[in-house]
């Protein structure tokens, strides 16, 4: 017999309007330990092979990108840093000329570049530089061969996943308007691994949902059109600016949990299916095999994770979705869900699936949160790289949250891998305990 359809859909279940607000999350405004938005270039540059990300920054930015991404580059990189040294205001005109020269040299050497993205950073010289204007000026010079745009990945303004949000939001003004008589279409916003994107594309096709476009597209020339006939499904929870920009162009946001685990993926697909009038019978026929595969794959990890207590430090903004998956599908207990930001509307469907007894915190005050974590002594702490080593030294098993962004984890066929990411550090801690 088929498992019952996951009960959440935009059509049948009213979404709690502001569950995080009614729960009164702990709001923290202290020191935070999160990478800056430049870090997202590490996955963005792989997604659009004909785009190039030129960071306008300092030696610190160059070192961050080198050390964070250096080990992952096997071909000629599609990002670089134009290092801006200290200079006074009088030197700003030269700075524009210098930037122009760097761009000319780059485009002459790399004729395959179709989109050049100027990425701002924190040094005061860069803040003074109007990168938007620079992109306009350079865009006029190099159009139509190269599209130019800019956004800020500065650590003052962005955490690491917000870098992706800023990039996607910068793409929105460049998207063409949909035709007057355009049929309903779907845009899935948020970087997904190609393999995951292909799986979703096949499912949407089998459901008869289309045309479907993914943002970002795989090439600079394939930006989808947008307008009032566009339905918008977010694949990532950290896309506040992007969603706002797309809604500003008329797109209608579909409320759904995020496609993590069997339940999240089912509810996410169901939101699209309901918006396109797909019958429940057809939905079940298309998704049942994938749901069964996901349940089987996840069940393998349940003995390792059931009853384990997890603590989430704020890092990727994926924390509420991860906690929902681990709690509902693996029987984990959640000691605290920390997230750098809680977007009330986008996260409402996630919080509707979590018990309201779980403490939630927004922002960070790292010392206080460390105290709470130490008091809890969780079985597994999900946190940024900077906190992981000290916590391991205190005997706490940890999971780097940045791995969850790099690894394909969305969709039915990745649900087992997602569970495995949390099971492995626990197994390792067990082995260390018994000295294997």
Angle among Cα 418, 422, 425 to the nearest 5 degrees reads 140
Task: Name the one residue in this structure whose structure tokens are 């929105």.
Answer: 172
If binding is defined by CB under 6 A, does position 122 make contact with ligand SF4? yes
If binding is defined by CB under 6 A, does position 58 make contact with ligand SF4? yes
**How far apart are alpha carbons 61 and 42 in whole angstroms?**
13
If binding is defined by CB under 6 A, does position 152 make contact with ligand SF4? no
**How far apart are alpha carbons 39 and 164 in whole angstroms?**
9
If binding is defined by CB under 6 A, does position 113 make contact with ligand SF4? no
Of the residues 33, 49, 60, 132, which one makes contact with ligand SF4 according to CB under 6 A: 60
If binding is defined by CB under 6 A, does position 9 make contact with ligand SF4? no
Containing 151, the helix (H) or strand (E) segment is: strand 147-152
Which segment (59-67, 290-298, 355-363, 408-416) binds ligand SF4 by CB under 6 A?
A: 59-67
CB of 291 to ligand SF4, least distance (A): 41
Task: Name the one residue in this structure whose structure tokens are 């050390």.
Answer: 67
Q: Judged by CB, which is closer to ligand SF4: 166, or 324?
A: 166
Angle among Cα 241, 417, 73 to the nearest 5 degrees reads 65
Is residue 122 a known part of a binding site? yes
If binding is defined by CB under 6 A, does position 16 make contact with ligand SF4? no
What number of CA atoms fall less than 13 Å from residue 249's CA on the CB side?
A: 24
Which segment (57-65, 211-219, 271-279, 341-349) binds ligand SF4 by CB under 6 A?
A: 57-65
CB of 157 to ligand SF4, least distance (A): 9
Report the candidate in 344, 424, 340, 346 with the shortest Cα–Cα distance to residue 383: 340
Of the residues 20, 34, 38, 273, which one makes contact with ligand SF4 according to CB under 6 A: 38
Query: Which residues have C-beta within 8 Å of that of residue 131, sequence separation ≥ 6?
Result: 56, 118, 120, 150, 152
Residue 108, token pair as written in the block = 């002459």
If binding is defined by CB under 6 A, does position 64 make contact with ligand SF4? yes
210 φ/ψ angles, rounded to the nearest 5 degrees: 170, 170
Which segment (54-62, 159-167, 168-176, 376-384) binds ligand SF4 by CB under 6 A?
A: 54-62
If binding is defined by CB under 6 A, does position 150 make contact with ligand SF4? no
If binding is defined by CB under 6 A, does position 117 make contact with ligand SF4? no
CB of 159 to ligand SF4, least distance (A): 10
Containing 148, the helix (H) or strand (E) segment is: strand 147-152
Of the residues 19, 25, 57, 416, which one makes contact with ligand SF4 according to CB under 6 A: 57
CB of 41 to ligand SF4, least distance (A): 11
Nearest-CB residue to ligand SF4? Answer: 155
Q: Judged by CB, which is closer to ligand SF4: 66, or 225?
A: 66
If binding is defined by CB under 6 A, does position 66 make contact with ligand SF4? no
Contact assessment for residue 403 and residue 67, using Cβ atoms and an 8 Å cutoff: no
Q: Judged by CB, which is closer to ligand SF4: 58, or 410?
A: 58
DSSP string, 371-390: HHHHHH--SEEEE-HHHHHH
Residue 65, token pair as written in the block = 């990108």
Q: How far, CA to CA in Å, does 10 sit from each of 57, 259, 275, 388?
A: 43, 15, 8, 38
If binding is defined by CB under 6 A, does position 163 make contact with ligand SF4? no
CB of 136 to ligand SF4, least distance (A): 22
Q: Judged by CB, which is closer to ligand SF4: 36, or 191?
A: 36
Q: Judged by CB, which is closer to ligand SF4: 44, or 220?
A: 44
The answer to whether the peptide bond before residue 430 is cis (omega within 30 degrees of 0) is: no
Which residues in this chain contact ligand SF4 in the complex, by CB under 6 A?
Answer: 36, 38, 57-58, 60-61, 64, 121-122, 154-155
Annotated binding site: 36, 61, 122
């Amino acid at each position: 017999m088929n498992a019952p359809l996951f009960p959440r859909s935009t059509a049948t279940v009213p979404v709690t309007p502001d569950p995080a607000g009614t729960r009164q999350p702990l709001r923290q405004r202290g020191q935070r330990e999160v990478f800056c938005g430049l870090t997202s270039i590490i996955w963005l540059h792989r997604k659009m092979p004909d785009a190039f990300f030129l960071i306008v920054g300092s030696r610190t930015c160059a070192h961050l990108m080198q050390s964070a991404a250096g080990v992952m580059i096997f071909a000629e990189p599609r990002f670089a840093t134009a290092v801006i040294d200290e200079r006074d205001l009088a030197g700003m005109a030269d700075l524009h000329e210098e930037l122009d020269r760097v761009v000319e040299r780059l485009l002459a050497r790399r004729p395959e570049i179709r989109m050049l993205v100027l990425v701002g950073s924190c040094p005061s010289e860069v803040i003074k530089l109007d990168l938007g204007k620079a992109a306009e000026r350079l865009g006029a010079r190099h159009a139509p061969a190269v599209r130019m745009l800019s956004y800020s990945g500065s650590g003052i303004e962005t955490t690491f996943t917000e870098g992706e949000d800023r990039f996607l939001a910068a793409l929105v003004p460049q998207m063409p308007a949909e035709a007057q008589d355009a049929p309903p279409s779907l845009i899935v916003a948020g970087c997904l691994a190609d393999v995951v994107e292909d799986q979703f594309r096949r499912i949407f096709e089998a459901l008869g949902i289309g045309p479907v476009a993914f943002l970002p597209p795989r090439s600079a020339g394939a930006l989808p059109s947008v307008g009032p006939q566009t339905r918008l499904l977010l694949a990532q929870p950290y896309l506040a600016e992007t969603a706002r920009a797309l809604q500003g162009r008329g797109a209608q946001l579909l409320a759904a949990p995020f496609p993590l685990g069997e339940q999240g993926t089912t509810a996410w697909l169901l939101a699209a299916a309901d918006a396109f009038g797909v019958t429940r019978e057809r939905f079940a026929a298309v998704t049942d095999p994938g749901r069964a595969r996901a349940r089987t794959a996840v069940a393998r990890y349940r003995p390792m994770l059931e009853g384990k207590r997890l603590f989430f430090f704020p890092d990727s903004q994926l924390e509420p979705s991860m906690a929902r998956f681990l709690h509902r599908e693996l029987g984990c207990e959640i000691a605290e869900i920390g997230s750098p930001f809680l977007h009330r509307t986008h996260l409402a469907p996630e919080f509707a699936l979590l018990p309201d007894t779980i403490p939630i915190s927004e922002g960070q005050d790292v010392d206080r949160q460390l105290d709470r974590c130490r008091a809890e002594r969780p079985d597994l702490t999900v946190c940024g790289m900077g906190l992981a080593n000290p916590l391991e030294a205190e005997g706490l098993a940890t999971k780097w949250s940045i791995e969850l962004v790099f690894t394909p984890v969305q969709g039915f066929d990745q649900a087992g891998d997602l569970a495995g990411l949390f099971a492995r550090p626990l197994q390792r801690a067990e082995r260390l305990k018994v000295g294997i």
